[in-house]
Amino acid sequence: MNDTAHALGAARTLWELVARRAALTPDRPVLLQDDRALTFGELRDRAERVAAGLYGMGVRPGTVVAWQLPTRIETALLSFALARLGVVQSPVIPFYRDREVGFALRESGAEFFAVPGLWRGFDHTAMAVRLGARGVFEAYGTLPDGDPAVLPPPPADGTTVRWIYWTSGTTSDPKGVLHTDRSLIAGGSCLAHALHLSADDVGSMAFPYAHIAGPDYTVMLLLYGFPAVMFEQFALPDALEAYRKHGVTVAGGSTAFYSMFLAEQRKRPGEKVIPSLRLLAGGGAPKPPEVYRAVVRDMGVQLTHGYGMTEVPMITMGSPDDTEENLATTEGRPPEGMEIRIVDGEVRLRGEAVCQGYLDPAQTAEAFDAGGFLRTGDLGFLKPSGHLVLTGRLKDVIIRKGENISAKEIEDLLAAHPAVGDVAVIGLPDVERGERVCAVLEQPPGAEVLTLDAVTAHLRDAGLSVHKLPEQLEVVDALPRNETLRKVLKYRLRERFGGGGG
């Protein structure tokens, strides 16, 4: 991290970070969308006016404000206006509906709720009214406005809980995750430090801004002073025009995004699908080594993958100067200040980027061990170089006839098969074995339909032990995913295929 970025990273609050960056490079762009551009100076000035408008509506420091808004410049302005006021923000993914939104509003005690109105055919205002939400206002194209002279001083304490994020649906019930400005700054600093970016780069936000990756990524822009293109609706190949128009150098999101870019590149062999692109980066879901190798080989760009979660937005990150082996097979290294401890195979974490716990105190007590380390539920080990290798999740360990089997090991091997588009391996109840191994596959268009015999033959050839071979194969049109980083929802697969365990 350069000296300027390092100094900015010491900011106590997100608003202090905005103000410092605006003073340094007020005329440089920070957010690009369609034909619009917002500079760092405009981000500071317009966010203050929005904060004054909110203050006129009765929003005060400490007020809980929920917002369910798409990835737009206006959303970033509203969020930073709320940060200027020192409120408690509760971002909600815009694809969530009555059950999840009602849960978030009730649990957070939100006193105001910002919605986009009618968006992508769904009436969010009507849903808010239906749920009995308080202080509902629309914040899609028009934002509150006022004179910043009415505002109280900005918050000075960065360690107060001012963010409630919601776990993104890989389990059936979300949890309210408590963050501070400093924990979000620490997470974004980790990302910025690892990627070795500069003011000449152009990033992209193809994920929901309401995801924990929103502030994670925006902190990186503020630290290094470069812009990112925002995508309200991301789909390929339609989004490629914006990547080319703005000269995006860094793209990504998660493994599903890498695969989408790769599919587009393979339609045009010998021609770079995004000429300016030099780096794909992301995290949030496992990355099979073959995906790394395919991106480097077919797209001619580097791929760095990291490890994060709603509770800790950035834990480790691959770096462009890592070895090919480490980039392919590890999640990168932690930054200074992130402690990783492996206890009985489980990855546990302590550091400034770790959340303060959950809205439910019982969940908090269960999540942290006696040493103050967060129990991630992920399994892995540290290499002598400090790189972290994830081997699966505690709940993804399949216990077949008393033997532990890693779902991720089988998934990585199957991902290398040319007739496999994506794969999830799950354990299903079985009277005889305790659990049986089930592989659920997506296949690319035109691929020959795979059979269980073909799958097991491939795994045998790859050297997988016989006792780990799948005993059930299911081919689906599409794996169920969440709407944030497109993570596979394995609990839904267990519900769908869990019968017949005799």
CB within 8 Å of 9: residues ≥ 6 apart: 1, 185, 189, 192, 223
Average pLDDT over residues 453-462: 95
Helices (H), 151-208: 181-195
Whether 78 has a pLDDT exceeding 90, the answer reads yes
Domain architecture of the chain: domains with CATH: 3-181 (3.40.50.980), 183-336 (3.40.50.980), 401-497 (3.30.300.30)
Whether 393 has a pLDDT exceeding 80, the answer reads no
- C-alpha span between 319 and 192 (Å, rounded): 10
Whether 501 has a pLDDT exceeding 60, the answer reads no
Q: Above pLDDT 90, what percent of the chain?
A: 77
pTM, two decimal places: 0.84
3-class secondary-structure state, position 299? helix
pLDDT one-digit tens code per residue, 213-261: 998 899 999 999 999 999 998 999 999 999 999 999 999 888 888 989 9
Cβ atoms < 10 Å from Cβ of 324: 11
**Res. 4 pLDDT band, cuts 50 70 90:** confident
- Dig out the tokens for 111 from the structure: 């006193």
- C-alpha span between 127 and 300 (Å, rounded): 46
CB within 8 Å of 244: residues ≥ 6 apart: 274, 275, 276
pLDDT one-digit tens code per residue, 395-435: 777 888 777 788 888 999 999 999 999 999 999 988 778 78
CB within 8 Å of 347: residues ≥ 6 apart: 340, 341, 376, 378, 379, 380, 388, 390
Residue 37: its H or E element: strand 36-39
Give the Å distances, CA to CA, from 133 to 81, 110, 113, 120.
Answer: 21, 8, 7, 21
- Dig out the tokens for 492 from the structure: 């839904």
